Structure formats: C-alpha cells, structure tokens
Amino acid sequence: MDSTNAYAARHLKTLPDRQVIAAEIQHHGQGRTGRHWYSAKPGNVYASIVLKPSEIISPTFPIASISLYLSLCVCRLLDQYQVVSELKWPNDILVGNLKIGGILGQSYFSGDRMEGLVLGIGINLNLEEEDLQYIDQPATSLNLLLERPIPDSLFLSRLLEGFFSTYDEFINAGFPLIAGDFKKRCSFLGKKVMIRLPGTAFAATALGFDQEGRLIVRRSDDGREETVVAGDLIPDTART
Ligand code: BTN
C-alpha cells in the first residue's frame, strides 16, 4: 500500500478501535515533519495502530504522550533482544546514535470530538548495509546489530502485546505512569540541544518533561524556561 497511516486515515470511520494495519512494503512511507520513511524492503515493521477512545474517556485521553508510550514499548522490546536503545524526544528510537525506528502519531478531530488517532510505527528489522544510504539520517537495522535475520511478524506481535498489555492503565494514568522509565532512556536530558520548530530553531538545555510528556527546556539566549509541545530535538554534542 502507499502508507499504513494514510490507509488508516482514509478508512478511519469504519475501522474499529485497536485495529492494526501492517504492510509488507509502502510506496509512500511517511516520516515526521514531512519526511519520507524508507519502506522499500519487506521484513521490517511498517504498521499503524488505530485508536478510537470512547466518548467518555476521550476528553482525558493522553493524546500528547501516547506516541511516547509506544516508543518506550519499542525500547522495552529491544531490551529483550539485548539491544540497548535510547529515546530522542519526541519519539525517535536510536541505537548508538543511529536511528532504528520512529513513530508518526496523527490525530483526527471533528470539531472538538476526537474521531481517532493513528500511531504509525516504522522499525528497521531486516535492512542491508546498502539500504542505509537511502535513509536521510544515520540509521541502523536490528539484523545488522545482531548479525542474524529477525522474524518480523514475531517482533510486531510482541510489540503489540507489550503495548496493549498496559494500554488501559496508560490511558487512565497518562505520562506519569512511564515518566521514570522514559527519562532513564533519554540520553539528552541535562544537555545542550537545538530545538527546531516550524520556521525557527533555538539552543537550549533539556531539563525534563511536564505531566503531559511535553519537553521542558531552558533557552540559552535569555535563560527562560519553555515547554515545547511539538518539534524536533537535535543533540548538540559539541556544546555539552
Ligand atoms: C519518523 O519520522 O521517525 C516516523 C516514521 C514512521 C514510519 C511509519 S511506517 C508505518 C507508518 N506509515 C507511514 O507512512 N509512516 C509510519
């Protein structure tokens, strides 16, 4: 298909809550901030989870942090493969500074009412070294790290099992449920970073997160604390 997220968005009205759509390959894999997601090879995770929380819970649904929860589930699963991964806010999954996976969360509203949420997951499980040149940032793949092929259906089912095993608890409690584990895996906390927002960027120190999982930073220019809702974080290793 073109993109599991695009498919889910097109069929949102008829797809049930917790439906998962997975593709072998995607012709137009979408990354965050309008980037392309390399999806030409089978054997990787290209999937979307459709969430349609009921009317009753949707006003309190932790919409800002659900994709952080999913990225943490990916890290926890990588632990089981003895691979140490890190999180780069908002939801990049890195191994040794190389990107192995990412989440694209898209929400759909009709007026004030949330019609649904689509959480797209892309994880490189079985790429060849030569595929990495087509990825627009330094990247890796689980098979290259472990030097063996990775059964992709098993990986995806374990990921979904982990995600849904504490999903209800998460949507009730929100980000505080995962804050401790999430922070432990964020190597940029306490360091100088660049925050890139649409049309602008600024240098700051990453301080922590608020109750919704939004990033709190101290701006380098005027020392003010600021909460970043959406954007990109660029580790600024030269300045730490
Ligand atoms: C990122 O930029 O880090 C997010 C990448 C998300 C890619 C996945 S692959 C499955 C789903 N369908 C898409 O088109 N994108 C997401």
Ligand 1 atom showing the smallest separation from residue 3 Cα: 14
Q: Are 1 and 7 in contact (CB under 8 A)?
A: yes
172 HSE (CA, 13 A, CB side): 4
Ligand 1 atom showing the smallest separation from residue 35 Cα: 2
Rounded distance, CA 1 to CA 7, Å? 8
Pocket probe for ligand 1: among 39, 41, 91, 159, the residue whose CB has the most ligand atoms within 8 Å is 39
pLDDT tens sequence across 53-77: 987 677 788 988 999 999 999 999 9
pLDDT tens sequence across 162-205: 999 999 999 999 999 999 999 999 989 999 999 998 888 999 99
Return the pLDDT at 57. 73
Rounded distance, CA 52 to CA 49, Å? 10
